[in-house]
């Protein structure tokens, strides 16, 4: 063992050198431009009272930061590639990253190939665990309690979210935004506004999850005003989607506040969504609802097709859904003169089909076809690519653009209000003043009572904030 002679924070952090080469979870994409590589990864051990962030700053691509049990009050920002952050279990205890209801973000990873594993992340105001534009990420076997977004990979490719337990999120427990080739597998989401949401995402698998006791279970959405203009090719299979009836507690300014209670699965505007082999039970408003973005109340975007097409509702186990629909759904189905629908559609979908199951009442699917008997996704076990995505290093301009897409668009749409004001209004306010915008983003002060307070973004560093500000004011268009 080699102990660093200088103190990083409170105590020195030990650096243990492995005596053998090993293929770490993230070493697959160690070298830019090379699809795979075996790395001699160094291991940095953090003990209670030390700083995780200090160890992350010392780590090099291919290294692993091992965190021993204890309580750590900080934000961890990973901006290098192929870094593994791994919580060590001892006597049933794992490390706790605690935001104390005052820090905004728990773990933020902007480096490709990041692995975040075995951490207990709790009481953060913004994101508990987030990847920002990172490809080939893995977020596995973590516990998350209380955040706005629990686990939030955004604008990444070829990612895995597996084995996590997430509760108490004011928006979504697991929220995948503007990403491609993503697996969301074997997670447990309870007590969130939305259990699992995939927004403006392409090619994903939601499989084997326990989605219970949220306001709404699984939401597949297409949100206008974001850089990615479609949402498609997703499979929801073999999940338990049960008892999602708690009162929606999302902030009023959030789009999630408009999601009705008691919904098992909701598809808003997305195409090519297939639902098979799930247990969908005791969701009071409806088992599954399919609607367009306009009916849902989202603004029009000329570059977005608002209507969901190619929806496949295959064989599922439906039990006791739709018996006490929430106000918005009750109003929609009122002309039918009764409740108890397992599947509801607004009727504007094209090229969609269902499997007619005995005892499964549907509304709005008269124009839908009967799904072909051979249509099944039973053999699908992953939506990820066979090989890691080759990820080129980013220029300063690209870093500004991708970090904007990964961070800023979580709260700001281009021409409409999301959680914060529109980017058009920000462009008008800070025209020709990128330094002023970067300064405000680093240390924001609340200006309007009708929006939540913006969390400080100083952790991104002056160079990245400057790049983001220049991108917003000189290049950003809808």
Render pLDDT for 320-371 as a digit per residue (tens, 0 to 9): 999 999 989 999 999 999 999 999 999 889 999 999 899 999 999 999 999 9
What Rg, from alpha-carbon coordinates, does the chain have? Answer: 22
Contact 181, 203 (CB under 8 A): yes
| Nearest one of 234, 238, 243 to 282, comparing CA atoms | 243
Token digits for 49?
Answer: 């009272």
- Structure token pair of residue 217: 């279970």
The domain segmentation of the chain, as residue ranges, is 1-147, 173-388, 396-474
- SS3 (DSSP) at 406: helix
Phi and psi at residue 169, to the nearest 5°: -80, 135
pLDDT of residue 354: 97
Mean pLDDT of 374-379: 96
Mean pLDDT of 56-69: 97
Give this prediction's pTM. Answer: 0.84
Q: What is the CATH number of domain 396-474?
A: 1.10.760.10
Position 393 scores a pLDDT of 65
What is the C-alpha separation between 302 and 449, in angstroms, rounded?
A: 31
User: For the segment 388-416, what is each residue's pLDDT rounded down to a tens digit?
Assistant: 999 876 677 777 877 787 678 767 888 88
């Amino acid at each position: 063992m080699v102990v660093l002679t200088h103190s990083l924070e409170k105590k020195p952090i030990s650096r243990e050198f492995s005596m053998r080469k090993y293929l770490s979870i993230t070493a697959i994409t160690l070298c830019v431009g090379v699809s795979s590589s075996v790395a001699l990864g160094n291991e940095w051990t953090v003990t209670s009272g030390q700083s995780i962030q200090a160890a992350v700053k010392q780590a090099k691509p291919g290294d692993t930061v091992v965190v021993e049990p204890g309580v750590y009050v900080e934000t961890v920002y990973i901006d290098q590639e192929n870094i593994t952050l791994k919580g060590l279990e001892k006597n049933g205890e794992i490390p706790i990253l605690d935001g104390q209801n005052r820090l905004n973000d728990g773990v933020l990873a902007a480096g490709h190939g990041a692995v975040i594993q075995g951490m207990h992340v709790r009481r953060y105001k913004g994101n508990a665990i987030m990847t920002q534009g990172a490809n080939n990420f893995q977020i596995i076997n973590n516990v998350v309690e209380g955040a706005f977004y629990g686990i939030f990979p955004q604008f990444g490719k070829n990612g895995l979210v597996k084995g996590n337990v997430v509760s108490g999120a004011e928006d979504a427990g697991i929220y995948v935004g503007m990403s491609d080739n993503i697996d969301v597998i074997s997670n447990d989401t309870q007590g969130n506004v939305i259990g699992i949401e995939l927004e403006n995402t392409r090619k994903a698998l939601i499989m084997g999850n326990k989605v219970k006791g949220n306001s709404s279970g699984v939401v597949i959405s297409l949100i206008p005003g974001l850089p990615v203009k479609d949402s498609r090719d997703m499979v929801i299979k073999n999940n338990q989607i049960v008892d999602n009836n708690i009162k929606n507690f999302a902030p009023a300014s959030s789009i999630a506040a408009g999601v009705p209670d008691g919904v098992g699965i909701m598809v808003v505007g997305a195409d090519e969504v297939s639902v098979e082999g799930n247990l969908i039970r005791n969701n009071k408003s409806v088992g599954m609802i399919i609607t367009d973005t306009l009916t849902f109340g989202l603004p029009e975007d000329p570059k977005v097709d608002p209507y969901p097409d190619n929806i496949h509702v295959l064989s599922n186990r439906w039990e006791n859904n739709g018996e006490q629909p929430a106000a918005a759904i009750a109003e929609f189905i009122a002309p039918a003169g009764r409740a108890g629908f397992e599947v509801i559609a607004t009727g504007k979908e094209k090229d969609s089909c269902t499997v007619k199951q005995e005892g499964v009442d549907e509304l709005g699917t008269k124009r839908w076809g009967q799904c072909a008997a051979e249509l099944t996704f039973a053999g699908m076990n992953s939506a990820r690519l066979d090989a890691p995505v080759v990820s080129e290093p980013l220029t300063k301009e690209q870093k500004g653009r991708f970090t904007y897409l990964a961070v800023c668009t979580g709260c700001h749409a281009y021409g409409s209000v999301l959680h914060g004001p529109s980017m058009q209004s920000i462009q008008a306010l800070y025209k020709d003043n990128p330094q002023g915008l970067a300064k405000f983003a680093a240390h924001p002060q609340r200006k309007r009572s009708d929006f939540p307070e913006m969390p400080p973004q100083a952790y991104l560093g002056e160079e990245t904030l400057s790049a983001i500000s220049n991108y917003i004011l000189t290049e950003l268009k809808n």
